[in-house]
Structure 1
């Protein structure tokens, strides 16, 4: 599939009346045409198609075994049952760290590859119900099972309830929303408090424990190894993490290594305004075809910028072609959404909103938009307000983008351990920066990280908006 240039999409129809050369309702702010960089085989993808081609990832034989927890591709027998790497790691972290989760719904959430991260309570519950054996986990938390011969177990509902409630841990559970009593100094964001706003995943009446548990679960997704492995990156973080809440703001300074890594990320970002025209003449009525043509051109430009950004990352040369392709194919929508909510927010939610206000959908077009699509739209609006409230800086945006891109749980990757280490590096860099820059906002870092699962959910449901595409 050839990559269409942003200018190759059909222009909107010409506006009635007008002098001089032919025109349409959209006006350019300047005469400079957006000139995307040349493409490679890896980058031959366009928004004129419903989604990205996955053939670039490779034509490896598909393993027919599926994970008994989420249905993802299984990688072997883990803790007694056939499961994937993601559920294996989640179960190990949950048991080793004695996590106590909460479900904001009816404790019967759907478990699938796309939805498994939405409810950690139901994911752990299914692990236990399917027979994952917690006694097969080594007590020191290191890789490798305690005994390879240990198989699945069938435990009673009462025992499952004791594990889920933390009673089985005999009062030693490291509950994720504990305050200063948390002794796990390797865990980021221990200073979470009640001032956090409810996550969109939860209902407005959800308890504080549900929200904070969500952050801990997200943290566990990235952090799963003993603290000693992090010293090689940012050892200074562990010199104050246990007491940072007691230290005066003026005693904090940004570590030179953090400063250098952040500067590298920010310099890789193209912060120039988008070149796609989004100004419209007063009184001009936008048609459905014109609106979607504009959205496709805008998405193409944003995609080109994400590809250029990836190539400028300090660790780009360390990535294999296959891993680069897998990461780009799996995160491009999330990267575009994250950039639209931050550095391009004024244009996307300002100029583009002015264009959409000139479009009046017909009853038939509205009927094609499902309730699920409305839910995604509502959550997008909430996320926009959250970002607007936080006033995310370019430095924080760059770190969030790198953290989201370096997702070691993506299927098809060849070097997950390398990606995990890179992910941890920028996780702690982001934490270091927020604690230095915003000392009076102890919840800022958890607030930022809590936005990432929402970004993934919304981006993963972009296909719902294709229901409104011109027939």
Structure 2
């Protein structure tokens, strides 16, 4: 299992080929500082900059994008070793595509059509603003261009790195549990908590007592799965990637468990009180069978019900995750001022989005409710960490979780 430092260092430039991406901003143009013309790493033509993580020409950039989006499977009619030059690059698509990959071009950096449309919209708006600089901005017109771009970046990072269908989690095997039909499980009576986890276990005769840690293996796997997604989400945010690696690790250690809960809320069913993870469904009872205690599980359920009732948009969920991630109060961070400024921008964007997209009177107190829930979430994380530290088997099952809470 890769450690936190390894995951942070690997693929450190995993964001889309957008105007705000670090690689595009730092590599704009077709010549270096000495005036030397750059050449395409694929065909040798004049390069126009970094595209999908490699210095290429416009022709190879377009070819790679079209190939990935269409999902075409190319086959070389020869020996898969064709020479790719500016003159011959059209003769063998298979070898040209393989050379794109060999040059470092990355499929995961290709933006979706929806993200491209939003980027074009932002460019058009910027051009109009530049053409009429004397006009006073309409304060009621909506979000600023910078705020919309921030939402675009965060949404792209979330969509690429959060598997809401949990399709990548299907290979994990569900636990085998002992069911006694004469005993009602916790929470099964009229949808309410009729028995606490402790009462649920005490209701069994000693000789048929179920294993309290029967859900522990899948809980460990699920925790690791979610933590890895949060790390990838953070790495896809340019403002996070430019921080020193030690600051990145400090932020992840301090906030990952909270961000996991925000992501879990997007798949929480308020009516059934169930987390619907694709083909698998989990309840607070499953948490009890993983060894977690009622003092944590009951407030956790209350938190998810409260947050789900607010009916947040996807943009608000991703802004909330980023707001938690950029926490300047983490003990070991060095660039505290930069992190604080980023968090302030995110907070203002979230407030502006709520003001624009939620009608009164509901929208009036929504931002304040979110801040209160974030305070509750911080308390939940402290209790969750305390309980995890007491489950020795869990820390040995998932070293990544152990590193996060260390």
TM-score by length of 2: 0.48
Larger CA Rg, structure 1 vs 2: 2
Higher relative contact order (Cα pairs below 8 Å, separated by 6+ residues)? 1
More helix by share: 2
TM-score by length of 1: 0.42
